[in-house]
């Protein structure tokens, strides 16, 4: 039976707190089933020459995302999602919106993570401290630099815009050949 407290203060979807991976992370406030949408990602605005990032207001370049050649500033709490080489979530793009979706069952209090190497090419590499058993020690910043078996594992999670932009390299992957030689 629904209690007054539940009606007044519904359970939040995620909470932000210090992460064992780095800085702050987002954590599940309740369990999620594989395939369930966790929440819609909060996009603050597009970053353009007319509306540049305001470092003076605390806006950070590492809180930006790069969908389809654009730069968008991600807001609270989603800007705090950390990378993991064996992520329990992924980003679904749908029209002008995007969502975190559970990649497997997630227990309440688990950190919600995504793999930053999905939907990116020619990005910057930096050291990874995700601690996953299959951690590669580096966030490559390029989907096509992932091991081929990971590219296949993530293939169905790629955004339509990324598939359109990298059609030829992905065709190689889909044919079962090494996309890096395309």
Ligand X SMILES: C[S@@+](CC[C@H](N)C(=O)[O-])C[C@H]1O[C@@H](n2cnc3c(N)ncnc32)[C@H](O)[C@@H]1O
Q: Which of 68, 65, 25, 86 lies closest to 160, judged by CA?
A: 68
Toward ligand X, which CB reaches closer, 81 or 112? 81
CB of 24 to ligand X, least distance (A): 4
Contact 118/51 with Cβ under 8 angstroms? no
Contact segment (CB under 5 A) with Zn ion among 5-13, 48-56, 121-129, 156-164 equals: 121-129
* Residues of this chain, 71-90, that bind Zn ion according to CB under 5 A: 85
Query: Measured between alpha carbons, how far is 94 from 163 in angstroms, rounded to an integer?
Result: 14
Pinpoint the alpha helices (H) of the chain: 4-8, 148-154, 160-165, 167-174
The residue (of 85 and 106) whose beta carbon lies closer to Zn ion is: 85
- Binding stretches for ligand X (CB under 6 A): 19, 21-25, 62-63, 79-83, 128-130
What is the layout of strands, in order, in the sheet containing 14-18? 14-18, 24-28, 111-114, 82-83
130 belongs to the binding site for Zn ion (CB under 5 A): yes
- Nearest approach in angstroms of CB 130 to Zn ion is 3
Q: Closest distance between Zn ion and the C-beta of residue 154, in Å?
A: 14
């Amino acid at each position: 039976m629904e209690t007054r407290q539940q009606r007044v203060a519904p359970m939040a979807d995620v909470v932000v707190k210090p992460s064992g991976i780095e800085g702050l992370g987002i954590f599940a406030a309740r369990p999620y089933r594989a395939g369930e949408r966790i929440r819609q990602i909060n996009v603050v605005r597009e970053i353009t020459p007319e509306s540049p990032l305001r470092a003076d207001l605390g806006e950070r370049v590492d809180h930006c995302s790069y969908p389809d050649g654009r730069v968008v500033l991600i807001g609270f709490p989603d800007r705090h999602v950390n990378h993991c080489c064996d992520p329990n979530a992924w980003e679904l793009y749908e029209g002008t919106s995007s969502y975190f979706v559970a990649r497997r069952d997630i227990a309440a209090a688990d950190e919600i993570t995504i793999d930053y190497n999905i939907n990116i090419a020619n990005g910057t590499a930096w050291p990874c401290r995700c601690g996953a058993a299959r951690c590669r020690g580096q966030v490559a910043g390029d989907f096509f630099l992932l091991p081929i078996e990971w590219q296949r594992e993530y293939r169905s999670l790629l955004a339509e815009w990324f598939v359109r932009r990298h059609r030829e390299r992905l065709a190689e992957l889909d044919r079962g050949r090494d996309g890096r030689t395309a």
